[in-house]
Amino acid sequence: MQLRSLAALLVVWCIAVPTFADQRNFEPSSDPALYALDRGAGNDGHLYTFDNLSVAQDPRAYRPDVGALDFVYHNHDEMTRYLRATTARYPNLTALYSIGKSAQGRDLWVLVVSASPYEHMLGKPDVKYIGNIHGNEAVGRELLLHLIQYLVSSYGSDPYIKWLLDNTRIHILPSLNPDGYAASKEGTCDGGQGRYNSRGFDLNRNFPDYFKQNNKRSQPETEAVKDWISKIQFVLSGSLHGGALVVSYPYDNTPNAIFHSYQSQPSLTPDDDVFKHLSLTYANNHGKMSRGVACKTASPSFENGITNGAAWYPLTGGMQDFNYVWHGCMEVTLEVSCCKFPPAYELRKYWDDNQMSLIKFLAEAHRGVQGFIMDPTGNPVERAQLKIKGRDIGFTTTKYGEFWRILLPGVYKLEVYADGFVPKDVDFMIVEQHPTLLNVTLQPSKRNDGSQHYRPAASTQYRPQQQIPPAPSQGSGSDEGILSTLSSGFNSLVNNIFG
């Protein structure tokens, strides 16, 4: 009886979430001044639009790329011209900005592909891909250029791509190490020529580390990334590498690592289930990766095409650990080619193998829980500290009170803390196909004199509770439910079923 009641609640809840057919298309602003949004000012000062959303559920076949981009390697000037030409041709779907410059002064270009390229879409996640962090690992660089071409050319004809761009802002940085790429040589599968930046630093060993102090001098490329992800709250990220065929997930380092060798012990995060799921999403949609075949006789093979980073080999200062620990962004490392810099005539094969994976992986940003943290007047609470109970890596709200967390189906408790407010715990449930929409209203804490005290966030041009109605009040101190359709008996029902 209890199971039937729970099923009924979930059916009502799923009906309340908009389906693919309910999505609205909206015309983004073309004001060039909005470039400042991503270049440094942060997500403020602009008009935002919000639509409820859900993940498109039906499997689909991906059509071949019919764009004009050739399967050749593009040097920095050629890449720059292509990115600029794409923004000129698709001004309502793309925006180009630089997060900084390399040690030798080359721009670190990022292209946004989205139905709202110039402005953050309220309630909808920002995601990113970064390629070519090692300059001689060149396949990822070209894959990202072809991904851009496929997304913009398919928006008008492919319902899945349209849904993805209508509901997600995709930031693509094709080359984090353009100086190293310039020093690399096509046809070189192994070796270190061009791996490092022009000052001789490995950029994927140059970030702050969770387990050990990283004493390596920070480089301009890594400083640019750190500044970038401190200003945009990315939910999901992939870093493209070469030299193996596997998805590696955090942690990359371990407190016990002394020797960097194969077959080390795994170093698992509190979100190990999520990272394995994300990694399998990429590997299982790849043409070959999930087979777990070793690139060379002396190289390890990887079961199902995935591995924990530290279990493969520990490293200090990796970018994926930094994204996760410092900013709550789920990043994995995508090793997409056995040969680091294969001949250009092989690029089409790599694109065919990775095209579906690159797209399906990004859609995983819509899995889990998302919503707003607000004060009693409906204003957003900026930088509220959030944590899923039992998962010690926290995350924060944006300037507009938004939050996202990728989670697998189950029952969870969200812990919310913010300066000037009473802490709050909220129980919620994740189901398979729909994101859980969860709004939380924090009550101001009281001073010793009995007066209420809280620091309201800056006023904005929206009232999020008008977009996602909060659950009906259940009395002072009660948890707010997932949606208004869930009854007040939800928590006791879950406890009875799941213990």
What's the pLDDT tens digit per position in 200-226? 999 999 999 999 999 999 999 999 999
Mean pLDDT of the chain: 81
Q: Does residue 302 share a domain with residue 162?
A: yes
Task: Over range 193-204, report the average pLDDT.
Answer: 97
Q: Does residue 416 share a domain with residue 330?
A: no
User: Of 444, 462, 494, at which residue does a domain stop?
Assistant: 444
Q: Does residue 126 share a domain with residue 107?
A: yes
CB 38 within 8 A of CB 231: yes
Task: Over range 166-190, report the average pLDDT.
Answer: 97
Q: Is 113 helix (H, G, I), strand (E, B) or coil?
A: strand
- Quick check: 447 pLDDT over 90? no
Residue 465 in any domain: the answer is no
Q: Does residue 403 share a domain with residue 275?
A: no
Q: Does residue 274 share a domain with residue 145?
A: yes
Please compute Rg for the chain using Cα positions: 23
Q: How far apart, in whole angstroms, are the C-alpha atoms of residue 67 and residue 71?
A: 11
Quote the tokens at residue 306: 């995935």
Q: Does residue 381 share a domain with residue 286?
A: no
Give the CATH number, domain containing residue 438.
2.60.40.1120
- Quick check: 130 pLDDT over 60? yes
Q: How far apart, in whole angstroms, are the C-alpha atoms of residue 174 and residue 131?
A: 5
User: Of 348, 366, 384, at which residue does a domain stop?
Assistant: 366
- Quick check: 2 pLDDT over 50? no
Residue 20 in any domain: the answer is no
CA torsion 334→339→341→345, rounded to 10°?
A: -110
Q: Does residue 346 share a domain with residue 308?
A: yes
One-letter amino acid of 191: G
Over residues 232-288, the pLDDT tens digits come to: 999 999 999 999 999 999 999 998 755 555 557 899 999 999 999 999 999 999 989
User: Of 394, 425, 444, at which residue does a domain stop?
Assistant: 444
Q: Does residue 318 share a domain with residue 185?
A: yes
Over residues 358-380, the pLDDT tens digits come to: 999 999 999 999 999 999 999 99
Quick check: is 186 catalytic?
A: no
Q: Does residue 434 share a domain with residue 347?
A: no
Residue 172 in any domain: the answer is yes
Number of domains comprising the chain? 2
Residues 119, 137, 335, 364: which is the catalytic one?
Answer: 335
End-to-end Cα separation, the chain, in angstroms? 16
Q: How far apart, in whole angstroms, are the C-alpha atoms of residue 204 and residue 331?
A: 13
Q: Is 215 helix (H, G, I), strand (E, B) or coil?
A: coil
Residue 354 in any domain: the answer is yes
Q: How far apart, in whole angstroms, are the C-alpha atoms of residue 135 and residue 312?
A: 22
One-letter amino acid of 92: N
Give the CATH number, domain containing residue 119.
3.40.630.10
Task: Band the pLDDT of 109: cuts 50, 70, 90.
Answer: very high
Residue 218 in any domain: the answer is yes
CB 264 within 8 A of CB 312: yes
Q: Does residue 415 share a domain with residue 324?
A: no
Q: Does residue 283 share a domain with residue 379?
A: no
Residue 456 in any domain: the answer is no
pTM as predicted: 0.79
Predicted pLDDT at 22: 31
Residue 42 in any domain: the answer is no
One-letter amino acid of 53: L
Residue 432 in any domain: the answer is yes
Secondary structure tally for the chain: helices H, strands E: 13, 17
- Quick check: 68 pLDDT over 70? yes
Domain that holds residue 209: 76-254+266-366
Q: Is 438 helix (H, G, I), strand (E, B) or coil?
A: strand
CB 139 within 8 A of CB 336: yes
Percent residues over pLDDT 90 in the chain = 71
Q: Does residue 402 share a domain with residue 271?
A: no
